[in-house]
Structure 1
Amino acid sequence: MLTVRYFAGARAAAGGTSSETVEAADLDELIQVLVEQHGERLALVLKAASFLVDGLTCHDRAAALPESVTVDILPPFAGG
């Protein structure tokens, strides 16, 4: 199990959920699970989002996610 934390527009698209635990082997699977749970609105946000795995940016969506990590979902932010 891993912890998913949602920020800004990702939180809104997930129905106001700020965090939850999910089981997934990699980011691709995580995205699939989250879209199944929360719907297409979140799917749109996830297409443009950045993912932090235990605080480090992860661009490889096929990289294995170790158990007990925290994945932060950060949508693009406006402003500077």
Structure 2
Amino acid sequence: MITVRYFAGARAAVGGVSSEAAEAASLEHLIELLTERHGERLGLVLKSASFLVDGLSCHDRQGPLPAGVTVDVLPPFAGG
């Protein structure tokens, strides 16, 4: 099980939910799962978002996600 935490526009796209559990083998799989779960509005945010896996920036969307990790979804922030 993976904990997904949403920030800023990502949180707004999921209706204000700050975190939830999910099961996914990779970041790419997680993105697909979350888009199916919450709709295209979140899908658009996820396309441009940055991801932290247990606090470390993750750029490999195909790499495995170990069970028990926390994935932070960070959409682009205005002004930075």
TM-score, shorter chain, exceeding 0.5: yes
> What amino acid does structure 1 have at the position aligned with 2:78?
A
Which residue in the other structure is 2:56 paired with? Answer: 56
Q: Measure, in 1, the Cα distance between the counterparts of 2:32 and 2:79.
A: 29
Q: Measure, in 1, the Cα distance between the counterparts of 2:33 and 2:15.
A: 15
Q: TM-score w.r.t. structure 1 length?
A: 0.97
Q: How many residues align?
A: 80
Q: Output aligned runs, 1:1-80, within 5 Å.
A: 1-80=1-80
Q: Measure, in 2, the Cα distance between the counterparts of 1:11 and 1:22.
A: 16
Secondary structure of 1:44's match? helix
- For 1:32-62, what per-residue CA distance to the aligned partner results, in whole angstroms no more than 9, with x for missing partners? 1100110000000000000000000000000
> What amino acid does structure 2 have at the position aligned with 1:71?
V
Q: Which runs of 4+ in 1 moved over 3 A?
A: none
Q: Which runs of 5+ in 2 are unaligned?
A: none
> What amino acid does structure 1 have at the position aligned with 2:43?
A
